[in-house]
Amino acid sequence: MSDQVVPLDQILPHKLPLVGLMGRPIFPGIFTPIMIGNPADVKVIDEAAAGDGLIGLVMLQNETESPTINDLYKVGTVAKIVKKINLPDGGVNIFISTLKRFRVRKTLSVENPIVAAVAYLEDEEDATSEVKALTRAIISEMKQISENNPLFSEEMRLNMINIDHPGKIADFIASILNIDKAEQQKVLETLNVRKRMEQVLVFIKKEQDLLRIQKRIQKEINEKIEKSQRDYFLREELKAIRIELGETKDAKTSEYQKLKEKLDSFHFEGEIQEIVGQELEKFNLMEPNTAEFTVTRNYLDMIAGLPWNDPPPETFNLGTARELLEEDHYGLKDVKDRIVEYLAVRKLRSANPPKKARAGAPTNATAWDREGPAGSILCLVGPPGVGKTSIGRSVARALGKEFFRFSVGGMRDEAEIKGHRRTYIGAMPGKIIQGLKIVKTKDPVFMIDEIDKMGASFQGDPASALLEVLDPEQNYAFRDHYLDLPFDISHIFFIVTANTLDTIPPPLLDRMEIIQLPGYIDTEKFEIAKHYLVPKSLTKNGLKKNQVVYTRDSLLYIANGYAREAGVRNFEKNLDKIHRKLAKQIVENEEKGTAEDPMLRAQIDKKAIEKHLGKPIFPEGELKRADRPGMAVGLAWTSMGGDTLVIEAISASGKEGFTLTGQMGDVMKESAAIAMTVARKLAAERYGCAVDWFEKNHVHLHIPEGATPKDGPSAGITMATALLSLFRGRTITDRLAMTGELSLTGQVLPIGGLKEKTIAARRNKARHIIIPKQNLRDLDEIPDHVKKGIEFHPVERFDEVLALALPG
């Protein structure tokens, strides 16, 4: 009987146990070991080895410990287990010979052991000259890769040459190339031999590109190493030549001598002398090509660049200083008086200074016992645009000092203030020490902007780091993390700015002298514009002073119609807008040859303002008035300055209730509840309002501008007045504004921000303001020109408020 050849797919079973591969797919025609650790897969291997030894290897789409059939690709490879070795950890190491591709046709068991009915896949042969050409190209390209890559063994090269089938060549090369597993799976699923070979050829080209880049990088690294070694030998030769010539000083020695002379001139004592001496000796012994050499040199450079010696004697005149302050800013009397007082103290103490201490000497003296006057810390608080930041430069100019400004708004890392420790790569000192190195003097003016906008994070709290900086009892021995040496910063005049005090921590607030900067009224804005803003804007936009003329009415029109905020920043923007349009008009006329007489001036009146700026944002008649029952005008304080609020209340027939709208905070809601209780009691007992009226009506109280959050108790009497105005059906007194917290027993309690609220009332043309009696002392802080034309009515009880707002 003659032997009969049986096709492989007739011998292979059509039902296979499947094992999920987490790494890469395995191609047919490969003999390779596989490590199996999953207990469920080990069980499948044991059962297969005990039977026909055949398993299906399929790559996982989603890597999971307990895969199902849905986690596997549909195409895999059938493999014969040749040898199985049990491992001590319970896993197995199997040697397999892969035979043929298959596709999962039907699921017989979804979970482990996963069993599926499979259909074996044949290569789609394409015996054309193109396939032969692709085969030669692949073998040729792979020879180049294998010659340059030590990972390709001689056995791999021989296998590649001895394989005679194009499809098997493509499979073998796809299995050994370093390509993405998803791409390998695509090759496995490609049955057309020509297409499979084209895919593999693309991957070979990519591998060649990577090898070229790898060789270039290796070459560059080798060149750098060779250059470094060459430089080292040349330096050693240069040292030997200098010794032969008697020139013992090199660049490092010269740098060491300069640093030593500079540091010796400070006459350090105690801890600073010891640490600086140690660092200098360490620097002298180091090789210049070490990383530590650069770190130590930068550290010594920083120490040498700081102003350790005491500042020189000061010569200044109070009158001149006041003139400079008046020249730069209008108003701000409190700030200017405080600065002049500070100068007077410095002048008196400089006349009879205490005993002088050497730089870096340890001391237990207080801020008052050390030489010269201690630095001051002023905190300027006010709305945006009132001139807080610009005051810093004016103060420095009046004092004849250097000026350094930095903003801490949004700062979240305390290392920005106190520096990084030198152990970190790229470490730097904090802003305080950096600023002193820049100004090169020990008594500059430092401005710390936006202190109310600091944050905190896992990197630290900068506000806490500022506690030492701004405390005269501690900052004479300030330790920056980078320097790690005591440095006296008590001579610095610190000026801090903020829009509000609410977000500043109380311990930090306690170290500063608070000076409030309220907003400006229209007459003050006129003076500021006339003396400062108009000349500045003309210069900025290339215009001459005699080319533009403003009248008093036109400047007041801009202030009231376009820039009614507390500061003057929008005022300046509007002036810039007018001047830009005038500049454009002048240039266009010159280019057309129709330039006007340069002696002619542009007269800026209301009509010209509306032409350049459009219609007013705040029309003249648009004042907040309580012109019907249920309305009252209150005064509020915000970080942007004072503001006026119109409280509105209405009633509607229906079920009893009380609704609040206008995005009120919790405190304001409680205040509204108190106002409702007080108003309801008075309406029933004093004004004869029927008790069942409240049972048959729903009351709604609203504060307009609902998108703006509002909070605080100071609108208590305003809300109660609006409610009583509604219940009585009467309109309150015209041009009357009020502020005050209301208690449940009818007492009017004190409030804050009276100066800002008064300015807001004046902008709203109010003639009468009701205030708590306990706030009478705050009236002294309000300038007379702001109070002019306004009658203040201090009250203790809500009955007094009603007598003024709803008389009769």
Q: CA Rg, the chain, in Å?
A: 43
Tokens standing for residue 526: 């006129």
205, 198 contact by CB (below 8 A): no
757 noted as active-site residue: yes
Instruction: List, in sequence order, every beta strand (DSSP E) within 542-654.
Output: 548-550, 602-604, 631-638, 641-653
Long-range contacts of 215-223 (CB under 8 A, 24+ apart): 215/148
Tokens standing for residue 240: 């030997």
The active-site residue, picked from 757, 773, 787, 788, is: 757
Compute the distance between CA of residue 626 and CA of residue 737 in angstroms, rounded to an integer.
9
Count CA within 13 A, CB hemisphere, residue 600. Answer: 6
Cβ partners under 8 Å of residue 773, min gap 6: 748, 794, 795, 796
221, 213 contact by CB (below 8 A): no
Reference 308, options 401, 442, 438; nearest CA is 442
Max Cα-Cα span within the chain = 133
453, 409 contact by CB (below 8 A): yes
Give CA angle at 691 (686, 695), nearest 5°. Answer: 140
Reference 667, options 717, 719, 712; nearest CA is 712
Helix H or strand E encompassing 693: helix 691-696
Compute the distance between CA of residue 495 and CA of residue 342 in angstroms, rounded to an integer.
13
Compute the distance between CA of residue 131 and CA of residue 46 in angstroms, rounded to an integer.
42
720, 678 contact by CB (below 8 A): yes
284 - beta bridge partners? none
Q: Which residue intervals of 709-750 are DSSP H helices?
A: 716-728
The active-site residue, picked from 490, 537, 714, 725, is: 714
Tokens standing for residue 742: 């209301």
Give me the active site residues, please: 714, 757
